[in-house]
Structure 1
Amino acid sequence: MSTANKSHSQGFLHPIARMSSTLLMGAAFGLGIASGVAAEPKKVSIGYSPILDSVTAFIAKDKGFFAKHNIDATLTLVTLNSNIPAAIMSKSLDLGSVSTTVLIQAVDGGLDMQVVQGATMLPNKNALMAYVTRSDVPFAGVKSLEGKKVSMPGIGASVDILFQKWLSDQGADPKKVNYIELSSSQATDALRAKSVEGSVIVEPFLTRASQSGIGQIVYRLTDGLPGPTLAISYIAERGWIEKNKDTLGDVKAALLDATEYAKANPAEARALLTAYLKLPKEIVDVLPLPLYEEKVTPADVAFWVDAMKAQGRLSTTIDPAKLIAR
């Protein structure tokens, strides 16, 4: 080959070599993305109360659904459900599972919060919450509760609203009952110590109180309602929702996976309730599991808004549709 031809060939091949090198580097980079280091997990703190409705969070954590969706979730116990909104606003929590009435009360008080996903509904029979009278205090109708001390696991919570609705519907004056705020886990001790005449108790502690002989179930608080009623939802502050849509989408996907798992594996759900809530297996095994529902509609929220308005608990006008994140 002549010198001229050799130089021409080298000049022609160099760009191809450079192009091949670039393509190979790109391919290697692409393989690195496909099989290499995953993105850093997104840290999220979720608050829950010691109630059965928190089981989807337990499952998502324990069964790896949070990890599957690249979420590093910290679950934090908040004994009183009504304290969760304040913890969210103080940045101690990112999300929390709360009763609908706690959310409405927080918004009525000026906190900018929304439902991001539903968790459970209250069935209209055999509810997981009930009024329990002390065994040595016979129940003589709702009027007999006037003047008595009743423990309540969250003033302003759904159990409080439903209890007072029951009293009003039956002709008693809810304002004449003396309320003491105690978690359901403390209710049996309060009954035993005779510091209250009755208690509103939520599972898993309701069955324990009944089986202990310390108290007797008088009325399950959703008996007679027209249908299932929204119980617990996951909520967050609106600003956090808007700034963390991708993270929130992954959290919701994990919780949805957990919900489907709970429906398909009730024994596993019970085992996690035993572990997280520190309850005897024999108690958890006989408890009815929650009625799961991830979707929340304005009508679900409106039921509670109307009930709270009727009880004079709201100082502002609440639009149920605006309490649901889109």
Structure 2
Amino acid sequence: MQLAQNGSVVIAGVVSGSAQVGLPTPTVAFQAVENGLPLQAFASTNVFPDTTAAGLVVGMESGIRQAKDLEGKKVGVPGLGGLLDVTMRKWVSSNGADISKVNIVEIQLPQTADALRAKQVDAVASVDPFASRAVDTGAGTLIGNYFDVITPGTAAGIYVTTKDWADANPDAVKGMQLALDEALAFIKDNDKAARESIAKYTTLPPPVVANMKMSNLATHLDPEKSFRFWNDLAKKQGLIKADIDLNAFTIKYPGE
């Protein structure tokens, strides 16, 4: 595994061939597809509704208590056009604020607490384990779970590759799909080991990981159910101009 700063970097790695598989969010992948990059998704990480703590973590001295208070403030997101960015924008607009008056900048999720303490931003569109870490250490407080605006059954993170690679390596794609199903079963039966792995790869303190809620893990994709919400939201926010061919974008599991 190789860490990448955001979804755009993930896509660049897959398209260039420096990585065979990447894990962006759907809206980032859709922008790449519209720009002519032949990406396909073959599995998801989790689906909504999700119990994971997610939302705007606001600085303790920011004065932000509701969406309207974000106007004129600086909000950090892990990637412009990514899942947390677009859902945060929808939540802010749906709750009576003018999103055009919010200054949105990119920061890395692990910096959530530090960026708030240093007052580099007034709020961060964050998600666990980083959101809970920021709250537990007193760096900020959580307002508005923007995941509430997402249609149930919608996919979150997705595993993507290029169509050329998928066509040339069908057994590898199938193998990864089946391995992810095995991993899902293992996680459900081995909570302690799963949390130890999360702590290892996020470098967060085990006590923080021990208290976080696990995501609503799921692996199989359905073109309409998994992606329609993102397609429509991406069009509304001007990230893409036309509908994505969701059937062509989705590689289903063997036998489906």
Secondary structure at 1:88 match in 2: helix
One of 234, 242, 247 as aligned partner of 1:316: 242
Counterparts of 1:187 and 1:280 in 2: how far apart (Å)?
15
One of 105, 113, 116 as aligned partner of 1:188: 113
Secondary structure at 1:101 match in 2: helix
One of 161, 169, 192 as aligned partner of 1:236: 161
One of 266, 280, 287 as aligned partner of 2:191: 266
Match of 1:104 in 2: 30
Match of 2:232 in 1: 306
Counterparts of 2:222 and 2:27 in 1: how far apart (Å)?
15
* AA aligned opposite 1:264: D
Secondary structure at 1:92 match in 2: coil
**TM-superposed deviation, 1:310:** 1.3
Match of 1:117 in 2: 43
State the Cα deviation string for residues 220-256 of structure 1 (Å, max 9, x = none).
1112545243111111011100001112222222222
Counterparts of 2:35 and 2:53 in 1: how far apart (Å)?
28
Counterparts of 1:173 and 1:105 in 2: how far apart (Å)?
24
- Percent identity, please: 31
User: Mapping of 1:46-65 within 5 angstroms?
Assistant: none
State the Cα deviation string for residues 141-170 of structure 1 (Å, max 9, x = none).
322211111000111111111101011112
Change (3 A) 1:107 1:226: closer
One of 156, 171, 175 as aligned partner of 1:250: 175
Q: Residues 26 and 227 of structure 2 are in contact (CA less than 8 Å); yes or no, is this contact kept in structure 1?
A: yes
Which consecutive segments of 4 or more residues in structure 1 shift more than 4 A? none
Change (3 A) 1:226 1:314: closer
In the alignment, structure 1 residue 85 sits paired with structure 2 residue 29: no
Q: Residues 151 and 182 of structure 1 are in contact (CA less than 8 Å); yes or no, is this contact kept in structure 2?
A: yes
Q: Which runs of 5+ in 1 are unaligned?
A: 1-74
Secondary structure at 2:160 match in 1: strand
Bigger radius of gyration, 1 or 2?
1
Q: What is the TM-score normalised by the length of structure 2?
A: 0.93
* AA aligned opposite 1:194: K
Change (3 A) 1:313 1:226: closer
* AA aligned opposite 2:94: D
User: Mapping of 1:1-326 within 5 angstroms?
Assistant: 75-123=1-49, 126-223=51-148, 225-299=150-224, 300-326=226-252
Q: Residues 127 and 223 of structure 1 are in contact (CA less than 8 Å); yes or no, is this contact kept in structure 2?
A: no
Q: Residues 151 and 229 of structure 2 are in contact (CA less than 8 Å); yes or no, is this contact kept in structure 1?
A: no
Q: Which runs of 5+ in 2 are unaligned?
A: none
Counterparts of 2:44 and 2:22 in 1: how far apart (Å)?
11
Counterparts of 2:122 and 2:61 in 1: how far apart (Å)?
9
Aligned length: 251
In terms of fraction of residues, the more strand-rich structure is: 1
Q: Residues 91 and 149 of structure 2 are in contact (CA less than 8 Å); yes or no, is this contact kept in structure 1?
A: no
More RCO (CA 8 Å, sep 6+): 2
**TM-superposed deviation, 1:322:** 1.9
The alignment yields a C-alpha RMSD, in angstroms, of: 1.5
Counterparts of 2:111 and 2:66 in 1: how far apart (Å)?
25
Counterparts of 1:318 and 1:222 in 2: how far apart (Å)?
22
